[in-house]
Amino acid sequence: MITFGSGQGFLKAGLLGFAKSGKTYTASLLAIETARHMKMEAPIALFDTEGGGEYIAGRIKEATGKALVGFKGRSLADLMKLAKECEAGAASVLIVDSITHVWREVCAAYLLQINKARESGGKSKRTRLEFQDWATIKEYWSIWADYYLNSRLHIIICGRAGYEWDFEESENPDGTTKKELIKTGIKMKVEGEFGFEPSLLVEMERVQLPNSEGKFSIVHRARVLGDRFGILDGCECDNPTGNFFLPHLTLLTPGVSNAVDTQPKSDLGVSESGDAEWQRERRVRAILCEEIQGEITKAMPGQSAAEKRAKVILIEKCFRTKSWAAIEALGATELRAGLDAVRKELATVKPPVAAEKE
């Protein structure tokens, strides 16, 4: 048991939005404010998947006095390598722009490797991932998800937004109903569970506002979808600066890390074939019940009144019950003992059918 309340020391922020919504620009301002507030001397780093680094490098150099560093690529392996270098002291804050490309690279790489194996085996290539693929992909992705959660590093991720869809029933003029596919919200285009990991989750939106000249001006609107401290939940700001996020940053405790133990430890009693203990137990019980019925039927195959009475007497003697449902509910150990008892009884007792024939 631990005592909570020592604080959380590292920013884990996520910005999602559609194209040109201001994700990269706002992420750079948040990174600058984080480094300034935490009084960190190391440079800011960027894992650049779409060439945006050159557009924010000058601003970051001007604000921090240090050049923007990082890596251009999309593979998860490269991201993990850069992140660990940053955590070791090479950078103060890491921006990942965009995490969507990293997720897509993992999926594409998996499909590519599947098709290479299929090609060498003379099988046709697959064009898309299938249901059975996702368990392996998600397990590999969890390497990054666990690191993001527990690392002693300020990390800001940018992700592309996508719509969430659902069916809604509506009534036709003739009284019948129909289902329509409607938009119910937006989400980050990344592995489903990871989209909820950031402690500060911000939606960026590109908004056109009319001005006094009869034209439109563009603003980048930030809307806080989630703040685990609860201080910025639901807040909005047009063209936000780093100061907008300061209330969240001031509640961080510099240097404190409260890691979550993500190692699997639950004992599910799984066998080498993947069966859980309770599944294996249920199968064994079913087999034992069939064997008991088989032994009795083999010795007394008929349906005469004498045989039916003999079967009831045998079952009651071996299991202390006349109910077959009660026998099926017994554990495997009790069923094995009962099966042995049935076999011993049948070896010494002359079946009624044979007696009647004599």
- pLDDT tens across 148-203, in order? 989 999 999 999 888 765 667 767 777 677 777 665 567 788 877 787 789 999 99
**pLDDT at residue 356 in the model:** 44
**pLDDT at residue 329 in the model:** 87
How far apart are the C-alpha atoms of 56 and 49, rounded to whole Å? Answer: 14
CATH, range 12-172+180-249? 3.40.50.300
Q: Name which of 238, 297, 189 is nearest 26 in CA terms.
A: 238
**pLDDT at residue 357 in the model:** 45
Q: What is the dihedral of CA 322, 328, 332, 336, to 10 degrees?
A: 40
Q: Name which of 62, 5, 69 is nearest 36 in CA terms.
A: 62
Start-to-end Cα distance in the chain: 75
How far apart are the C-alpha atoms of 317 and 3, rounded to whole Å? Answer: 58
Q: Which residues contact 173 (CB under 8 A, 6 or more apart)?
A: none
Is the separation of the CB atoms in 221 and 23 below 8 Å?
Answer: no
How far apart are the C-alpha atoms of 155 and 83, rounded to whole Å? Answer: 9
**pLDDT at residue 358 in the model:** 40
Single-letter residue type at 89? G
Structure tokens, 348:
């010494």
**pLDDT at residue 291 in the model:** 93
Average pLDDT, the chain: 87
**pLDDT at residue 91 in the model:** 97
pTM higher than the cut 0.85: no
Helical H segments across the chain, by residue range: 23-37, 53-64, 76-85, 99-120, 134-150, 246-249, 277-299, 305-319, 324-328, 332-348, 352-357
Q: Extract the residue ranges of the chain whose pLDDT is less than 50.
A: 353-358
Is the separation of the CB atoms in 179 and 168 below 8 Å?
Answer: yes
CB-facing half-sphere around the CA of 127: CA atoms within 13 A: 0
